Amino acid sequence: MRTTLEIDDRLLKQALALTKAKTKKELVHRSLQAVIRQHRIERLIGKLGRLPLDLTPKALAKLRADA
């Protein structure tokens, strides 16, 4: 999808330098992925201690191996 955005030049240059993204498109993709990842982490942290988990270390290792 094509979108036109007005982005502060200083912000863009700083973000490109920090991420070492090669293109603006790559920078936007990485930024969107970071926002999504952060929200998922916050949601999981908010559920800490609220979900009943009956996992043994062996079952957890199997789940990790299947992923």
pLDDT at position 27 is 97
Residue with tokens 């979900």: 51
For residue 67, pLDDT over 70 is answered with: no
Model confidence pLDDT, tens digit, residues 16-46: 999 999 999 999 999 999 999 999 988 888 8
Closest CA to 25 of 35, 14, 16, 17: 16
H helices present in the chain, as ranges: 9-19, 24-46, 57-66
With cut-offs at 50, 70 and 90, classify the pLDDT of residue 14: very high
Cα–Cα distance, 16 to 33 (Å, whole number): 15
